[in-house]
Structure 1
Amino acid sequence: MKSVSFFLLSLFVPIFLHAQSVKNSLRAPAYPLITLDPNMSAWSYSDELYESSPRHWSDKKLPLLGVLKVDNEYYRFLGTEEMELLSMLPNGEDKPWEAKYLTKDPVGDWTAISYDDQSWQQGKGAFGTFENEPHSKTNWTNAKIWVRRTLDLKEDLSNSSILLEFSHDDDAEIFINGIQVVKTGGTGKNKRVKLNDAVLKTLKPGKNVIAAYCFNGGANGFLDVGLLKERTDQALFPKTAKQISADVQPMQTHYVFQCGDVELKITFTAPLFLDDLVLLSRPVNYLSYEISSSKPRTVELYLEASPNWALHLPTQASSSSTFQKNGITYLKTGSVAQKILERKGDHVRNDWGYFYMASDAKNIQAKVESGEVQKLAFRTNIQVKGKAKGKFAIGYDDVFAIQYFGENLRPYWNKDGKSSIEQQFELAFKDYDLLMKKVADFDRNFMLQYQRYGKSYAELCALAYRQSIAAHKLVQAPNGDLLWLSKENDSNGSIGTVDITYPSAPLYLYYNPELAKAMMNFIFYYSESGKWKKPFPAHDIGTYPVANGQTYGGDMPVEEGGNMLILTYAIAKVEGNADYAAKHWSVLKTWADYLVEKGLDPENQLCTDDFAGHFAHNANLSIKAIMGIASFGYLAEMQGKKDLANTYLSKAKEMAKEWEKMANDGDHYRLTFDKPGTWSQKYNMVWDNLFDMQIFDPKIREKEIQYYLTKQNRYGLPLDSRETYTKTDWILWTASMAEDQATFERFVNPVHQFMNETVNRVPMSDWVFTDKPERRGFKARSVVGAYFIKMLEEKIKSKN
């Protein structure tokens, strides 16, 4: 009866699509603006769009300025006027610098300007291990290094505002003219410290010295230093518009402003339809505007961007231009170096390829301002008679997107090399009216449909949609496989991580199972090609965007084996056949057999919650192994392999009974089998319920859910008994195991409250504290695709 009710309801939803629009009331931690791929996304970190410059999720600023002139008054509605720092002494990101260095303890005051360093070695910065630090110019593999970098100043800087920019791995001490400026532990990239008056007074014309020490306590070492100078330009647009509202929909972010007596609506649109792969991969977003006035008038709209959009660091050399082609006016910028696919890692951005802004307006003026800091700007006069509408397009051509086992791959939209970025912009403008209607319909339908599981759920999913998609890149492998490659944003930069795929998958299983396969094809290939020889799946296939093989330091045998088997069965359930599993049957059986041997009581190893460290006898990880074995059994059953199915299903049920005995702790089940008085979220059991696998006694889930309700804090259910932090993706899975809507919402509402109140203004975090509105770590990750587990449940159960 439940599936019939859903079917009837779904018939009536479209009737209201054009009559209703559901506003998202969530104050987003960060508002998505441009969402193309992991290295090309921009977010507003403030409540008002004009309070701050858009930022990449790595926190690097992407200056984008919007101003509307009304009756000789300028109203800034987008971004701030960035007084970009000037590079006085470049670091080693692009340009090597000369220095003296030593790898044994120096004698005397080695930080002083007058120190005699003639006996030191001569080298080029930055200094680091070549193997893991691609921007190292001198290979440093010792435990310690001392470096002296000399600068010959032509001017007195004592009255200037100067910043030291530095990178270090690990502990570092940095001195300028003998005065300590930095003493820090750990690691950091492109950190900045403003120099105090005492240091500034020493920066006189002539010889000056930056002296730095770094200790390499682990596998990697890195040291880089430079100086930046703040500009003192006066702001041209100090007056702001009045923001009336902000609204995040799945594919759009809407803003409304008042500029004097004129209303301005601004919309950022990413037409990310998961069932249209060509459109999904098109590297173009829209910035649309609608201006309303009670009287006829001429207004002027100004939009300005910075070359930062095509750089990793603003100090890198760039080249910008403007041109026209087939009725479209372009602004284009990119790095001078164009080191294709050379920069890899976590908190990095593309510094190859080209950023574009484009307009099809006839009266548009395009300009590139040179000088100390480049600006790319559009200016247009608009005749307003009631309402006037228009648009800009923003895009990026990364030329080559991914290196895949030694071969450079183009992005999917140009997989055969026969398209061009200009053709993509032409299509974007041609399709604009149709796409905007489709997007509006999708957003309305989405919010109405998802609201059936509560307003909080709908609003969280609306914010999660673009975030998860933008953490992936779509390419085609040389063998024709579709590859939907995630970047492990803000956690280590891995590409194609299996335990990132696992939580992310519900979104793609729900909208397009071909993308779910594309998140797994490369792992199957890695094992089946013989490149990965272990009897369980790899953790990843590299460090984004270089996918030449696993780079993560440790394996997760039970974790990744369970993930791949469960998701392969999930694809079969969504598609109604096991064809995909049949293609990979041999390796699936190898993984299933490994879980049979090692899965019930896992040895000391990592699971997907690797931040919690290694530990043995993990009860939730054991569930994953059992679910993986059961998945293999059901896949065998779908192919008519009855004897094989009975063998693995019987084994899974036998292990489930043993699990209950080992994990039982009275009114709940333990975190680890050997530690009474502990507990954890058993989110891996969600599949038993979702697929009606009947492996575990349903009373286990019921008991756990009731126990969890006694452990909730203001901002959600902790991950387990060890800490107050949680993972929001797993909370949504735990919530989906509840038997009724009210209980589901009791788990979801605190997550919504956290996102609404968090003090960390970054793209949604999935690792947060439950007793305070602060993130523990992570942001902008694809794993928020996990939030769609409830919709996947609806889809699966409607088929039964």
Structure 2
Amino acid sequence: MEIRTYIRFVVAWRMIIILGIISLVYACSCPDEKISHLSVIAPSRHTLLAVTPSLSLQLTGDTLNKSYPQLRTGEAFPITGILRVDGILYRFMGGDSLRISPLAPLSEDTVGWTGKYSFLFPGKGWEQRRYDDSWWSEGKGAFGPVKGYYPAHTLWGAENIYVRRHVKVDNKDALRNHKIYVRYVCDDWLKLFCNGKYLLESRYTYKTKCQRLTDEAISQIIDGDNNILAAYCRNTGGPALLDFGLYIENKTYAEAKPATLKKMDVQATQTQFIFQCGEVDLQVDFVSPSLSEKWDLTGWPVGFLTYQVRTESGKEHAVEVLFDVDMEWMFGKRKIDSWVDKDWRFVKSDSLYLAMAADETTFSCMDGHAILSQKLYVGNERDKDSSGVLLVGYEEGQVLQYDGEALSPLWNSDGTREVKELMKSVGNRYKELKAECDILDNRWNTKAFQAGDKTLAEQMLPAYRNFISSHRFISSSDNKLFCLGDTLGNVREAYKSFPALLFFHRTDWMRGLLDPIFEYCEDIHWSKKYPPYDIGLYPVASKQVRLENCAVEAAANMLMMTTAIVEAEQDFDYAGMHWEQLEVWADYLQQKMKKETYPIIGLLDENDERVKCVLGLAAYYKLIQLKGNL
């Protein structure tokens, strides 16, 4: 009993200290919003541009001019940024190229290809280069329904198919210093080999997929026509389809020099880069306008990057900025639409929108690439244009299914708005938005360094965009704001987000994290005395992903997060709306403390159930005090 009392005392005291620190950090403010010098931070990884969870660009370190930004899935976002200065190319964003040329093209890139095939298992070693396939049937790829949506030429109606494709390589030395890729489409289950070397295994994909060959696989390639791409595909039901080919990177921008990075600065709403390109400096700012406070742009699926060139010498230079996005690489589709709407040139493929000022922009489309370029002026005449903007928008096709109804995203709650209209709205005032973001960054940077050191700043400032990049903002049926990640209503992830949201005083987003959980628990279908770990996987709520018992952690976290909201707002109304539910969770923790006998093993940490119980109850007792005071 004494040990338990001691634990309660220590952890409760720890809770008081933590709450005091949070209150102190929250109290720090910067009343003067004039732009001043910001303390530069450069975290190891951060969200470069927050558009939607499906399209938020991540960057590792200072590699913008060395490799492609990545999506949250880890896949490359195939954008290349080039600045042409007096005929010399400088790459400031992306790799040298994702353009590829066929060594052995897919059926959709040619009139078909010849291969050997068998519907029966041909015996051990069938995938090897030296295997004798002279007795196999010969057919024209691709294989599948010959009148389907895909250009298949040989009917495949059996369950299994084995295919050997002979690939001719005239000069293996020409492959050196180039990436080699295998591209494929399969329905349903595929295993692929190159000269007997296992390459990959894939399930059904109706889009063209692409995977880079390892150096070991490339080393197996020989001069001549006896290189073998071998595939086994199984059809588990319905139509069957198989197509595969070999491609080499084209290195379209191989002659471009990587621009010299002079400065990188990551702040709360934007990331700034300054590159030297010969005698010209290029400044590129990635801005996430959904973080704006002056205009309510929360959840808008739009971001933009501004660019500006200048020179200290005052000499005039012929300068052109170019952005190349490989739409086929990203979406497996070559179709690209382009149109002019008022002052903006739009480009769209699948769900991705790009836009630049129409009267200054040149657009071209080649091999599934969308290329937007603009000529800029560098010299002494200040009235000529030396800057511009690239707008990026994305439309997620899925709609949240919640409690039997479809909920709309906050930006389109009435169902009448379009992404392109939002992009025009942002584009027409991007300079004002940029100026506002400068003010916000100054405020939050000053606050971070007042509250702590550079380490705190590198944790807090990027967390703002990280939160936006991983959450969808949904309008509920009763017009509440729901903030939902990929795992809906994840109590643990919400708890991890709260310190950053407290720092930025986004109590509206904090409520948005908790409201769907409260609604779920206050529904008649949830009868347990503790909250669920989650309430579903996007886009369908009401079907838990994780069913294991995290009851103590979830109950304690909900009590602590509710207390944080009440303290930050200095208003008890939010807790008052859910007081019966909070009492149930507090009683659950109290009963847990009475019934369980915890062994004293090792040191306590914040994830220990004993600590969670005490922290949750301490938060509940704090709520009782606040109820009386507020």
TM-score class, shorter-chain normalisation, is: 0.7 to 0.9
1:288 and 2:306 are equivalent in the alignment: yes
Query: What's 1:501 paired with?
Result: 494
Give the CA deviation at 1:203: 6.8
Query: What's 2:521 paired with?
Result: 527
Deviations 1:95-131 (A, max 9, x none): xxxx9999xxx8952745669999xxxxx99xxxxxx
For the Cα contact (< 8 Å) 2:356–2:391, is it kept in 1?
no
For the Cα contact (< 8 Å) 1:86–1:315, is it kept in 2?
no
For the Cα contact (< 8 Å) 2:182–2:210, is it kept in 1?
no
For the Cα contact (< 8 Å) 2:180–2:212, is it kept in 1?
no
Give the CA deviation at 1:243: 1.8
Q: Against the structure 1 CA distance between its residues 391 and 618, is the aligned structure 2 distance closer, same or farther, given a 3 Å change threshold?
A: closer
Q: Against the structure 1 CA distance between its residues 619 and 38, is the aligned structure 2 distance closer, same or farther, given a 3 Å change threshold?
A: closer
Give the CA deviation at 1:332: 1.7
For the Cα contact (< 8 Å) 2:482–2:513, is it kept in 1?
yes
Aligned AA (1:297):
E
Query: What's 1:240 paired with?
Result: 258
**Aligned mate of 1:270, from 288, 297, 315:** 288
Equivalent position SS for 1:379: strand
**Aligned mate of 1:229, from 247, 250, 253:** 247
Aligned AA (2:612):
K
Deviations 1:138-179 (A, max 9, x none): xxxxxxxx97542555866895775457999xxx99563782
Give the CA deviation at 1:370: 2.9
Distance (whole Å) between structure 1 residues aligned to residue 408 and residue 136 of structure 2: 49
Give the CA deviation at 1:358: 1.5
For the Cα contact (< 8 Å) 1:270–1:285, is it kept in 2?
yes
**Aligned mate of 1:209, from 219, 230, 237:** 230
Q: TM-score, normalised by structure 1?
A: 0.59
Query: What's 1:483 paired with?
Result: 482
Q: Against the structure 1 CA distance between its residues 239 and 196, is the aligned structure 2 distance closer, same or farther, given a 3 Å change threshold?
A: closer
1:539 and 2:533 are equivalent in the alignment: yes
Q: Against the structure 1 CA distance between its residues 110 and 324, is the aligned structure 2 distance closer, same or farther, given a 3 Å change threshold?
A: same
1:421 and 2:419 are equivalent in the alignment: yes
Query: What's 1:590 paired with?
Result: 584
Deviations 1:625-683 (A, max 9, x none): 2222333344345445xxxxxxxxxxxxxxxxxxxxxxxxxxxxxxxxxxxxxxxxxxx
Give the CA deviation at 1:595: 1.9
Query: What's 1:448 paired with?
Result: 446
Distance (whole Å) between structure 1 residues aligned to residue 605 and residue 287 of structure 2: 47
For the Cα contact (< 8 Å) 2:90–2:258, is it kept in 1?
yes
Report the RMSD for the aligned CA atoms in angstroms: 4.4
Distance (whole Å) between structure 1 residues aligned to residue 246 and residue 592 of structure 2: 55
Query: What's 1:682 paired with?
Result: none
Compare the two structures and name the one with the higher strand fraction: 2
Query: What's 1:343 paired with?
Result: none
Equivalent position SS for 1:278: coil
Query: What's 1:367 paired with?
Result: 363
1:581 and 2:599 are equivalent in the alignment: no
Give the CA deviation at 1:498: 0.9
Query: What's 1:38 paired with?
Result: 53
Distance (whole Å) between structure 1 residues aligned to residue 343 and residue 194 of structure 2: 57
Q: How do 1:282-321 residues align onto structure 2 when only pairs under 5 Å count?
A: 282-293=300-311, 294-295=313-314, 297=316, 299-308=318-327, 314=330, 316-321=332-337
Aligned AA (1:368):
S
Query: What's 1:623 paired with?
Result: 611
**Aligned mate of 1:513, from 507, 512, 521:** 507
**Aligned mate of 1:179, from 179, 182, 196:** 196
Count of residue pairs brought into register by the alignment: 546
Equivalent position SS for 2:258: coil
Return 5+ residue gaps in structure 1 as ranges. 92-98, 119-123, 126-145, 214-223, 335-353, 488-493, 605-615, 641-798
Return 5+ residue gaps in structure 2 as ranges. 1-19, 109-116, 138-142, 145-158, 202-208, 235-241, 599-603
Equivalent position SS for 1:391: strand
Q: Against the structure 1 CA distance between its residues 251 and 203, is the aligned structure 2 distance closer, same or farther, given a 3 Å change threshold?
A: farther
Aligned AA (1:176):
F
Distance (whole Å) between structure 2 residues aligned to residue 31 and residue 167 of structure 1: 33
Q: Against the structure 1 CA distance between its residues 564 and 276, is the aligned structure 2 distance closer, same or farther, given a 3 Å change threshold?
A: farther
Q: Against the structure 1 CA distance between its residues 635 and 44, is the aligned structure 2 distance closer, same or farther, given a 3 Å change threshold?
A: closer
For the Cα contact (< 8 Å) 1:150–1:209, is it kept in 2?
yes
Distance (whole Å) between structure 2 residues aligned to residue 179 and residue 231 of structure 1: 23
Give the CA deviation at 1:519: 0.4
Give the CA deviation at 1:246: 0.9
Query: What's 2:561 paired with?
Result: 567
Equivalent position SS for 2:64: coil
Specify which structure has the bigger relative contact order, considering alpha-carbon pairs within 8 angstroms and separated by 6 or more residues.
Answer: 2
For the Cα contact (< 8 Å) 1:68–1:302, is it kept in 2?
yes
For the Cα contact (< 8 Å) 1:66–1:76, is it kept in 2?
yes
Distance (whole Å) between structure 2 residues aligned to residue 522 and residue 399 of structure 1: 21
Q: Against the structure 1 CA distance between its residues 42 and 211, is the aligned structure 2 distance closer, same or farther, given a 3 Å change threshold?
A: same
Query: What's 1:327 paired with?
Result: 343
For the Cα contact (< 8 Å) 1:332–1:356, is it kept in 2?
yes
Q: Against the structure 1 CA distance between its residues 236 and 619, is the aligned structure 2 distance closer, same or farther, given a 3 Å change threshold?
A: closer
Equivalent position SS for 1:440: helix
For the Cα contact (< 8 Å) 1:601–1:618, is it kept in 2?
no
For the Cα contact (< 8 Å) 2:555–2:585, is it kept in 1?
yes
Give the CA deviation at 1:322: 1.6
For the Cα contact (< 8 Å) 1:76–1:237, is it kept in 2?
no
Q: How do 1:690-769 residues align onto structure 2 when only pairs under 5 Å count?
A: none
Q: Against the structure 1 CA distance between its residues 568 and 394, is the aligned structure 2 distance closer, same or farther, given a 3 Å change threshold?
A: same
For the Cα contact (< 8 Å) 1:331–1:376, is it kept in 2?
no
1:377 and 2:372 are equivalent in the alignment: yes
Deviations 1:434-487 (A, max 9, x none): 222221111112222211222332233223321232111111122322111123
Aligned AA (2:619):
S
Aligned AA (1:332):
K
Query: What's 2:464 paired with?
Result: 465
Identity of aligned residues (%): 22
Q: Against the structure 1 CA distance between its residues 192 and 621, is the aligned structure 2 distance closer, same or farther, given a 3 Å change threshold?
A: farther
Deviations 1:285-317 (A, max 9, x none): 221122223335353322223244xx8x63622
Equivalent position SS for 1:423: helix
Q: Against the structure 1 CA distance between its residues 101 and 548, is the aligned structure 2 distance closer, same or farther, given a 3 Å change threshold?
A: farther
